[in-house]
Amino acid sequence: MNMNIEVNETDIQVKLCENSSARAVEELLRDGPLTLEMKDFAHMEKFGSLGAQLPANDEHITTEAGDVILSEGNLLVIYYAPNTWNFTRLGKVQNLSEKELKDVLGKGNIRATLTIEEKMEGKEER
């Protein structure tokens, strides 16, 4: 399952993980797009409230640019620099390099619109 995050007219494609947290995000988005106001934190991440408490599957990890994380059970976080903490992995950006991701996310706060994309059966990925 894939999630799309539209930021500044650019689509960020995220391959979702296989866990109850990612499935909860899918369910949240089945009713339609969700727009988040996301703040910058420490020049390494953008975060915004999902407006719901989701199941956590926290593990002690070090993030990489492109990691999409659930923090505190209700915050969606897009990392563009490393951080080590107890987080739940939701997915990974597929279509942008670290530099491209930093350029798209820019400086300061952003508005992000999340949608879910069901993979079409039998369609080959290139």
CB 126 within 8 A of CB 98: no
Q: How far apart are CA 3 and CA 18, in angstroms?
A: 13
- What's the pLDDT band for 29 if we cut at 50, 70, 90? very high
Tokens of 81: 């620099």
pLDDT at 27: 96
pLDDT in tens, 49-95: 999 999 999 999 999 999 999 999 999 999 999 999 999 999 999 99
Residue 52 φ then ψ, to 5°: -155, 150
pLDDT at 118: 65
Q: How far apart are CA 126 and CA 61, in angstroms?
A: 30
pLDDT over 90 at 122, yes or no: no
CB 20 within 8 A of CB 55: yes
Residue with tokens 């997915």: 91
